[in-house]
């Protein structure tokens, strides 16, 4: 009688396995993530024996020669900014984003530009060769020099890489690839982990710059095991509203450059175009004579951005006031409302409060606290803030205004865009205010001082 295949339960978040089903994963602690699958037998010839052949020698760190890593520009300036200057030989990049956000469009444009000087290969696992050709025709990109492979089998892809030896490879997407060495279906935790490991190993051995496209879950995280993000060198997230013409790429992890860099693109009829001055776009419809509006100078990596913060404070018509934020942290709003009540004497317990960061930008830094409070105060009193004014600063629970990083760069960006006034933490006051001749800077150390500045500054 044939022996029944052994079944295991594998976590869709961390990839851990357990012989019995449990409501909570014993490895990562997530609930309802264990899925039943067949246990794959380990082949006799281990897949990683090749690593044991080349044993690294122990050496002193002082004896290691550190050289600058050469960069290969992609031809897309905003993408190069996020990557830290361009692609690095042997680097593996993971690009995630919502369906239809423009990942395949961006990579097809990029690889067509790089084909003019380097040998490239586009591996499509989701679309046929004809569909990719139609997209290239719509985008009016130059297809000369772009090698295309429509394949999802990992063994066939590895053979093609060894035969053509490309410099740059795009895998679209990693969730559609499968290896014959794993019995589970494409997109499963084991398949994604194994395929990514094999591609990463080949990229390091052959010096290939490889870009992997990753799907995201409904929570916005890249689908598959978390080890996928640890395995690659750079993790990029493609963000933006599908109803808007603007897209943003954010670097979450980068071993060859600074993290948290931001690149802004505009979606046009001929694909994505880089935006060199995104602050002007985010403030295109800004009006300083409207209550509830305040301009924030936020910092995204090395780039200062001016973003309009809108607030609407209105009488609550139910038993529980509503608190809603778009692009800002929900929990921080509750804290700022409590600080506003205790240290400024303005109670909003019977008010609905709505906040919005215009332009689809997601702001996570605490430097937005001061601008958020001033916008809520302006809406609550139904009086606009002084014209041509910006603000930034972190608010503490005792009502103090704390300094933020790169205050001088924020002030220079505000002055460049024509703003006349700025409310900043006192510790961020420039030593020589004459460096900003067109900007009147008010340094405040508490929330009450900021409120007094707005009250006594002529509109």
Annotated binding residues for ATP: 97-104
Cβ–Cβ < 8 Å for 252, 95: no
Residue 268 CB coordination number (10 Å): 10
Quick one: average pLDDT of 275-291? 83
How much is the pTM? 0.79
**pLDDT at 18 (0 to 100):** 86
Query: Taking 60 as the threshold, does the pLDDT of residue 165 lie above it?
Result: yes
Strands 262-268 and 271-274: antiparallel
Residues 6 or more apart in contact with residue 347 via CB below 8 angstroms: 341
**pLDDT at 133 (0 to 100):** 94
**pLDDT at 112 (0 to 100):** 94
Q: How far apart, in Å, are the Cα atoms of 66 and each of 12, 62, 360, 383?
A: 39, 10, 40, 58
174-193 residue pLDDT tens:
989 999 888 778 888 888 88
Strands 246-254 and 234-239: antiparallel
Query: Taking 50 as the threshold, does the pLDDT of residue 401 lie above it?
Result: yes
**What confidence category does residue 41 fall into, taking pLDDT thresholds of 50, 70 and 90?**
low
**pLDDT at 148 (0 to 100):** 95
**pLDDT at 459 (0 to 100):** 58
79-103 residue pLDDT tens:
999 998 999 999 999 999 888 888 9
What are the φ and ψ backbone dihedral angles of 213, each rounded to 5 degrees? -90, 130
**pLDDT at 53 (0 to 100):** 46
Quick one: average pLDDT of 158-185? 91
Query: Taking 60 as the threshold, does the pLDDT of residue 44 lie above it?
Result: no
Quick one: average pLDDT of 55-65? 83
Q: Which of 419, 383, 364, 366 is nearest to 293 (CA)?
A: 383
Using a pLDDT cut of 70, give the percent of the chain over it.
Answer: 93
329-343 residue pLDDT tens:
998 999 999 999 999
Residue 258 CB coordination number (10 Å): 12
At 271, list the tokens.
């694909």
The DSSP bridge partners found for residue 123 are 149, 171
343-371 residue pLDDT tens:
988 888 889 999 999 887 889 899 999 99
Cβ–Cβ < 8 Å for 237, 25: no
Query: Taking 50 as the threshold, does the pLDDT of residue 35 lie above it?
Result: yes
H-run or E-run covering 252? strand 246-254
Average pLDDT of the chain is 87
Annotated binding residues: 97-104
């Amino acid at each position: 009688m044939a022996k029944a295949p052994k079944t295991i339960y594998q976590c869709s978040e961390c990839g851990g396995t357990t012989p019995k089903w449990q409501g909570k994963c014993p490895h990562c602690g997530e609930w309802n993530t264990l899925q039943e699958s067949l246990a794959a037998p380990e082949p006799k010839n281990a897949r990683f024996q090749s690593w044991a052949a080349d044993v690294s020698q122990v050496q002193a760190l002082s004896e290691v020669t550190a050289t600058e890593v050469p960069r290969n520009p992609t031809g897309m300036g905003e993408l190069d900014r996020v990557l830290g200057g361009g692609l690095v030989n042997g680097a593996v990049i993971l690009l995630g984003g919502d369906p239809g956000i423009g990942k395949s469009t961006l990579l097809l444009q990029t690889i067509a530009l790089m084909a003019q000087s380097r040998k490239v290969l586009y591996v499509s696992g989701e679309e046929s060769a004809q569909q990719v050709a139609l997209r290239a025709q719509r985008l009016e990109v130059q297809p000369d020099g772009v090698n295309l492979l429509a394949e999802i089998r990992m063994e066939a892809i590895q053979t093609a890489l060894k035969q053509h030896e490309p410099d740059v490879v795009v895998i679209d997407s990693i969730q559609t690839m499968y290896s014959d060495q794993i019995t589970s279906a494409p997109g499963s935790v084991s398949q994604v982990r194994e395929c990514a490991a094999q591609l990463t190993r080949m990229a390091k051995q052959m010096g290939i710059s490889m870009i992997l496209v990753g799907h995201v879950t409904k929570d916005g995280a890249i689908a598959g095991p978390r080890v996928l993000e640890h395995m690659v060198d750079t993790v990029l997230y493609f963000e933006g509203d599908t109803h808007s013409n603007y897209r943003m790429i954010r670097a979450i992890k980068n071993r060859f450059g600074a993290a948290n860099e931001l690149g802004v693109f505009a979606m046009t009829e001929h694909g994505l175009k880089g935006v060199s001055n995104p602050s002007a776009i985010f403030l295109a419809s800004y009006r300083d004579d409207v209550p509830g509006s305040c301009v924030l100078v936020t910092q995204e990596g090395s780039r200062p951005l001016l973003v309009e913060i809108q607030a609407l404070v209105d009488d609550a018509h139910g038993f529980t006031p509503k608190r809603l934020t778009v692009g800002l942290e929900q929990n921080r709003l509750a804290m700022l409302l409590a600080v506003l009540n205790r240290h400024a004497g303005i109670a909003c317990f019977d008010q609905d409060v709505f906040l919005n960061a215009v332009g689809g930008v997601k702001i996570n830094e605490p430097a937005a606290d001061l601008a958020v409070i001033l916008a809520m105060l302006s809406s609550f009193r139904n009086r606009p803030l002084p014209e041509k004014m910006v603000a930034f600063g972190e608010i503490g629970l005792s009502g103090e205004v704390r300094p933020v990083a790169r205050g001088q760069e924020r002030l220079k960006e505000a002055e460049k865009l024509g703003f006349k006034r700025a409310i900043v933490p006192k510790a961020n006051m420039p030593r020589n205010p004459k460096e900003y001749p067109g900007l009147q800077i008010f340094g405040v150390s508490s929330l009450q001082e900021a409120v007094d500045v707005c009250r006594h500054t002529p509109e």
